[in-house]
A and B are shown apart, each in its own frame.
Chain A
Amino acid sequence: MGIMKKIFFLLCFLFTFGQVFSQINSSERLVYAASYNMSGLMTQLAQVTMSTEMIKTSKKSFLHLSWEAATFSKWDKFFKIRDSYETYVDPVTLKPSLYKRDIYEGGYAKTEKYIFAANGRSINSTTRKKNNQETKKTFPIGNSSRDIISMIYKLRTVDFSKFKPGQSASFIVVFDEKEYPVYIKYMGLETVSAGNLGRKQCYKLSIAARTNKLTGKDKNIIWMTADVKKVPVLIRFSIPVGTGQLSLSSASGI
């Protein structure tokens, strides 16, 4: 998050049951329709669900952040997708302890597990591709590096009301066992449709990363409600094989 607003957490409020200091509720469920641009027309392909849950172990509590993608049944016969990305984070700082990725995309499968060292300086990773053997590896990371899911939730704790259009924040994200800097540029306010929340005034944020996984300038954009919850309502992305979007269908437990 470039400008890590750690002080923000000190200002974050009342601890109520089911709610955490990070202003991410522990029973939140956001459902999106994922569409892909085919010949200029958006075609709905899959449903993406982002959910949160509080998990307690004998030593401490973790906020379980989960992101799941599943193709609509009509697509399952042609190109079935069952992707799951999840991370267990500290409920206050949103610092990840365990990250898992389990993807199945039209026959291609891969699993990945990262256990973050307590000092946040290294990751013990275990990866497995379809029919391949398990690979274990330990690699160093920066103290502020985090996985992609916790980054999205961390982004929701940034106070964009103090940002001026063009102002940026940055994060370091670990993906495919590599660290990537991710830049978030605040582009201003815009009102967009937000599923069952109606039309909402949103922060418009451009995402850029030094990776070939995202393409174009200001073509990867996220709209988050311009309120304390900062619910992502629309995400437009541009990848090497085309463009698409995730639009919020329903939000509950926020």
Chain B
Amino acid sequence: MRKIFIISAIIFAVLGIVFTILPLGTIAFLPIGIAVILSFLALQKSKHNQGKLPKLILFISTLTLLVVMGKVVFIKDVVVTDTQFELKKEESKKEDIKDLEGL
């Protein structure tokens, strides 16, 4: 049972890291939360000298959790000025006026 908890915790922790890198926002809480629970359960099932790996997964998951929380709080959703897009819009508008003149 301990092994299952550890393997599952590792899978969800890796998934959590991937979700943290990707701009998935709060969705990353899902795999990280599961990884935290599973690593905690693995730690409970571990004997005194077996707690190293579950503790490491728990530490990484908690750290990832903090990173996601930081990203949610401090990084604002912004649209960067796309000069190419803006230029295209201006040219398109000139073309539109020509078309409208012909109507």
The interface of chain A, by Cβ under 8 A from chain B, is: 33, 38-39, 41, 43-44, 46-47, 55, 57-59, 62, 64, 70-76, 78, 82, 84, 86, 88, 97-98, 100, 102, 113, 115, 118
Contacting residues, chain A, for B96 (C-beta < 8 A): 55, 64, 86, 88, 98, 100
**Is there an interface contact between A98 and B103, defined as CB atoms closer than 8 Å?**
yes
**Most chain-A CB neighbours within 10 Å: which of B78, B79, B85, B101?**
B79
Known A33-B77, A84-B89; 16 more pairs at CB < 8 Å? A43-B24, A43-B27, A44-B77, A55-B96, A58-B101, A73-B79, A74-B77, A75-B23, A76-B80, A78-B23, A82-B85, A84-B92, A98-B103, A113-B99, A115-B99, A115-B103
**Is there an interface contact between B99 and A43, defined as CB atoms closer than 8 Å?**
no
Bound form: Cα–Cα A76–B79 in Å? 9
**Most chain-A CB neighbours within 10 Å: which of B30, B97, B101?**
B97
Q: B77-103 interface mask toward A, CB cutoff 8 Å, 1 = contact, 0 = none? A: 111101001001100100011011101
**Is there an interface contact between B92 and A102, defined as CB atoms closer than 8 Å?**
yes
**Is there an interface contact between A43 and B22, defined as CB atoms closer than 8 Å?**
no
Contacting residues, chain B, for A38 (C-beta < 8 A): 24, 27
**Is there an interface contact between B30 and A41, defined as CB atoms closer than 8 Å?**
yes
**Is there an interface contact between A55 and B23, defined as CB atoms closer than 8 Å?**
no
Bound form: Cα–Cα A78–B9 in Å? 27
Contacting residues, chain B, for A73 (C-beta < 8 A): 78-80
Nearest CB of chain B from residue A29's CB, rounded to whole Å? 14
The interface of chain B, by Cβ under 8 A from chain A, is: 22-27, 30, 75, 77-80, 82, 85, 88-89, 92, 96-97, 99-101, 103
Q: Which of A41, A70, A113 contacts B79 (CB 8 A)?
A: A70
Task: Determine the main DSSP class of A at the interface with B.
Answer: strand
Contacting residues, chain A, for B89 (C-beta < 8 A): 84
Nearest CB of chain B from residue A188's CB, rounded to whole Å? 31
Bound form: Cα–Cα A74–B78 in Å? 8
List 14 contacting pairs A-B, 8 Å CB cutoff, sorted by A: A39-B30, A41-B27, A44-B25, A44-B77, A55-B100, A57-B97, A59-B101, A59-B103, A71-B79, A73-B78, A76-B80, A78-B23, A98-B96, A115-B103
Nearest CB of chain A from residue B96's CB, rounded to whole Å? 6
Bound form: Cα–Cα A156–B77 in Å? 29
Bound form: Cα–Cα A98–B93 in Å? 11
**Is there an interface contact between A70 and B77, defined as CB atoms closer than 8 Å?**
no
**Most chain-A CB neighbours within 10 Å: which of B92, B100, B101?**
B100
Contacting residues, chain A, for B23 (C-beta < 8 A): 72, 74-75, 78
Nearest CB of chain A from residue B25's CB, rounded to whole Å? 5
Chain A residue, CB-CB nearest to B89: A84
**Most chain-B CB neighbours within 10 Å: which of A33, A44, A74?**
A74
